């Protein structure tokens, strides 16, 4: 195509409908959504929405064709040779025309003077999948986190806010502290506030001024100094409050529900054309957020869960036919129970939501308990809170459809129920049984994070700050294959991460405990496509 025929007065190459066939896509087909379509001299794909200009960089027309279809679903995707796919995150320049940039203050920061390369290259990406075959495509990548040469905020103009949402988790205060320290020490930001009490705090409560003195030692405490709550998400009221207060950076710490809320806030901000950055820091003690290697607080939870397992083991071994039963967190994902079991090595049976089990009959849980007590005289059972909910509801005829303020289904107490069922079974058989039930849930949630999680929280917080200052928006920061990345909101809210019971890690647990699978023949399903993909990504 002769670009001289399409150069507009602005210096951009503009495609007319008569020449759309030379670009490889149909302008009439997409013009219902996009008012105009153009390329700049660097083959940067520009499309215009009612809320402002949007852009997507692409080094070749081939990549442009593939990127166009992605834009129809509001996803910023760049494709390249050998199956390379970058699932990029939004940027200010996508919807704000020619936003001003400034030199990154880190170039004059004494702490960074020893670093050989201050800044992350704009083309650096991190692969989602690292185990590949010689003929495998390069696969999906995410933008690498880190400081950039240019920033889109002047330090004195920044008013940042931090909010914590959902349940408690070890490390919340550490993330708050490190966001404040990162903004202050690395970028010279002086105006930082905390939103009191979760999402509804934006429009229903006062803010809390945050500075280096305020957050100095909060990482040594459990909980969150900002307070938290479930629900209360009213997108219009929240964005109105952000706009009225002059806030231009929003850091949201929360689980998948909170990140969905963050995505809605970002979309409303983009619709209004505001220069406000929204970044998420994923928080879930259950480790059930997909894509990322692990969530902060998980290591602490596993470590503390071992204390409960050790106590249960002491109780069980001290009496005749002793059983120590420990209920751990895990509404839909059994990662804490699985990892605590593998770490402890004192557990005889681990029950999680992903692996069905039954109680009576050949191959059932009762039969296994009898066998293990006969062999060793004691037993430790770990059960995740979401395990066996179908059995409990069926037995008690009290299945519930009620949900909490975050939209999570209210669970029945599997720990107390199964404790009583085990006792009743042995009473019928007139056998001696000493069962001790331990539920450490709130003890685990409320403790400060350990050393490993403190480091994790620090890196997550600093990565979020770097991304926001660099103009990225509408993203969650997370560790992918050992590298911190910027992940689009939709990728971490589209599903929950769960234990794949046809994966090697679950096989390792079964080998460690020497427990049966407890699955009835009719429950044994073939490995479906999603499980295959999950197993391949992990291994």
Largest CA distance in the chain: 93
CA separation for the pair 448, 162 (Å, rounded): 19
Phi, psi of 342 (to 5 degrees): -65, -40
Q: Which residue has the higher pLDDT, 133 or 483?
A: 483
pLDDT at 466 over 90: yes
Residue 304 lies in a domain: yes
Task: pLDDT band for 282, please (50, 70, 90 cuts).
Answer: very high
CA distances from 76 to 142, 220, 287 (A): 11, 40, 26
pLDDT tens-place string over residues 192-215: 999 999 999 999 878 999 999 999
User: Which contiguous run of DSSP H or E holds residue 281?
Assistant: strand 277-282
Residue 251 lies in a domain: no
Task: Give percent of the chain with pLDDT exceeding 70.
Answer: 80
Helices (H), 224-364: 235-245, 256-272, 298-317, 335-344
pLDDT at 73 over 60: no
Residue 385 marked ligand-binding: yes
Instruction: Tell me if residue 77 falls in helix, strand or coil.
Output: strand
User: Which pLDDT value is given to residue 402?
Assistant: 60
Q: Which domain holds residue 422?
A: 298-447+500-537
User: Which pLDDT value is given to residue 74?
Assistant: 73
CATH of the domain at 368: 3.40.50.460
Residue 360 marked ligand-binding: no
Residue 280 lies in a domain: no
pLDDT tens-place string over residues 326-360: 999 999 999 999 999 999 999 999 999 999 999 98
Domain total in the chain: 1
Residue 442 marked ligand-binding: yes
Instruction: Tell me if residue 155 falls in helix, strand or coil.
Output: helix
Beta bridge partners of 193: 161, 209
Residue 395 lies in a domain: yes
pTM for the full model? 0.82
Residue 12 marked ligand-binding: no
Rg of the chain in Å (alpha carbons): 26
Instruction: Tell me if residue 109 falls in helix, strand or coil.
Output: coil
Most confident of 53-62, 181-190, 204-213, 491-500: 181-190
Burial class (CB in 10 A: 0-12, 13-18, 19+), 100: exposed
Task: pLDDT band for 248, please (50, 70, 90 cuts).
Answer: very high
User: Which pLDDT value is given to residue 408?
Assistant: 64
pLDDT at 264 over 50: yes
User: Which pLDDT value is given to residue 395?
Assistant: 62
CB-based contact 484:465 (threshold 8 Å): no
Query: What amino acid positions are annotated as catalytic residues?
Result: 286
Average pLDDT (120-141) is 89
Task: pLDDT band for 529, please (50, 70, 90 cuts).
Answer: very low
Residue 235 marked ligand-binding: no
b/e sequence 216-234, b meaning 16+ C-beta within 10 Å: eebbeebbbbbbbbbbbbb
CB-based contact 358:391 (threshold 8 Å): yes
CA separation for the pair 337, 352 (Å, rounded): 7
Residue 286 marked ligand-binding: yes
Q: Which residue has the higher pLDDT, 390 or 271?
A: 271
Residue 434 lies in a domain: yes
pLDDT averaged over every residue in the chain: 83
Residue 444 marked ligand-binding: yes
Please state which of the ranges 109-123, 282-296, 521-535 shows the lowest mean pLDDT. Answer: 521-535
**DSSP assignment string, 198-216:** STTHHHHS-EEEE-TTTTT
Phi, psi of 279 (to 5 degrees): -125, 140
CB-based contact 12:3 (threshold 8 Å): no
CA separation for the pair 166, 305 (Å, rounded): 21
Residue 407 marked ligand-binding: no
As given in the structure block, the two tokens for residue 367 are: 């039969």
Residue 322 lies in a domain: yes
Work out whether strand 475-480 and strand 434-438 pair parallel, antiparallel, or are unpaired: unpaired
Q: Which residue has the higher pLDDT, 417 or 67?
A: 417
Q: Which residue has the higher pLDDT, 17 or 127?
A: 127
Q: Which residue has the higher pLDDT, 130 or 243?
A: 243
CA separation for the pair 110, 465 (Å, rounded): 18
Residue 516 lies in a domain: yes
Residue 312 lies in a domain: yes
pLDDT at 232 over 90: no
Residue with tokens 């949900």: 403
Average pLDDT (71-93) is 85
pLDDT tens-place string over residues 418-452: 999 999 999 998 888 999 999 999 999 999 999 99
pLDDT at 400 over 80: no
pLDDT at 39 over 60: no
User: Which pLDDT value is given to residue 241?
Assistant: 96
pLDDT at 366 over 60: yes
CB-based contact 384:328 (threshold 8 Å): yes
Task: pLDDT band for 521, please (50, 70, 90 cuts).
Answer: low
Please enumerate, as own/partner, the contacts of 522-526 that have beta carbons within 8 Å and a separation of 24 or more.
Answer: 523/356
CA distances from 124 to 22, 142, 144, 348, 349 (A): 31, 9, 6, 46, 44
């Amino acid at each position: 195509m002769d670009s001289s025929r399409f150069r507009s007065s602005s210096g951009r190459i503009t495609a007319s409908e008569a020449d759309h066939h030379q670009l490889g896509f149909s302008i009439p087909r997409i013009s219902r959504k996009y008012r105009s379509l153009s390329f700049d001299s660097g083959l940067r794909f520009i499309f215009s929405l009612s809320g402002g200009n949007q852009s997507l960089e692409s080094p070749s027309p081939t990549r442009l064709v593939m990127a166009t279809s992605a834009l129809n679903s509001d996803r910023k995707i760049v494709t390249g040779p050998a199956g390379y796919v970058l699932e990029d995150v939004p940027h200010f320049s996508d919807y704000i025309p020619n936003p001003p940039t400034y030199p990154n203050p880190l170039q004059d920061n004494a702490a960074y003077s020893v670093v050989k390369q201050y800044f992350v290259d704009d083309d650096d990406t991190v692969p989602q999948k690292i185990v590949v075959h010689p003929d495998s495509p390069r696969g999906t990548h995410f933008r690498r986190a880190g400081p950039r040469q240019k920033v889109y905020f002047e330090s004195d103009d920044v008013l940042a806010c931090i909010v914590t949402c959902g349940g408690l988790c070890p490390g919340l205060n550490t993330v708050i502290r490190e966001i404040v320290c990162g903004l202050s020490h690395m970028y010279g930001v002086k105006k930082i506030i905390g939103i009191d009490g979760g999402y509804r705090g934006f429009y229903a409560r006062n803010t809390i001024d945050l500075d280096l003195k305020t957050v100095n030692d909060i990482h040594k405490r459990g909980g969150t100094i900002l307070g938290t709550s479930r629900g209360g998400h009213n997108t219009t009221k929240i964005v109105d409050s952000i706009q009225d207060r002059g806030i231009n950076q929003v850091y949201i710490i929360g689980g998948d529900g909170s990140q969905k809320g963050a995505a809605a806030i970002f979309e409303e901000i983009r619709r209004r054309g505001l220069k406000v950055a929204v970044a998420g820091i994923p928080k879930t003690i259950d480790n059930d957020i997909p894509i990322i290697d692990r969530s902060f607080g998980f290591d602490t939870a596993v470590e503390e869960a071992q204390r409960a397992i050790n106590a249960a083991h002491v109780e069980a071994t001290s009496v005749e036919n002793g059983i120590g039963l420990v209920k751990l967190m895990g509404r839909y994902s059994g990662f804490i129970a699985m990892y605590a079991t593998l770490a402890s090595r004192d557990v005889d049976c681990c029950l999680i939501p992903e692996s069905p089990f039954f109680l009576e009959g050949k191959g059932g849980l009762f039969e296994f308990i009898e066998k293990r007590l006969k062999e060793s005289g004691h037993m430790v059972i770990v059960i995740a809170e979401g395990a066996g909910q179908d059995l409990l509801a069926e037995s008690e005829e009290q299945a519930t459809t009620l949900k909490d303020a975050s939209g999570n289904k209210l669970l029945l107490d599997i720990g107390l129920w199964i404790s009583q069922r085990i006792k009743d079974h042995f009473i019928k058989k007139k056998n001696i049984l000493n069962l001790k039930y331990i539920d450490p849930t709130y003890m685990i949630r409320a403790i400060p994070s350990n050393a490993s999680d403190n480091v994790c929280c620090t890196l997550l917080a600093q990565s979020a700050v770097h991304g926001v200052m660099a103009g990225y928006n509408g993203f969650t920061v997370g560790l992918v294959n050992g590298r911190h990345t910027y992940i689009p909101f939709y990728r971490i809210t589209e599903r929950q991460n769960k234990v794949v019971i046809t994966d090697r890690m679950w096989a390792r647990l079964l080998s460690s405990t020497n427990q049966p699978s407890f699955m009835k023949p009719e429950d044994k399903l073939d490995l479906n496509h999603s499980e295959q993909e999950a197993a391949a990504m992990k291994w």
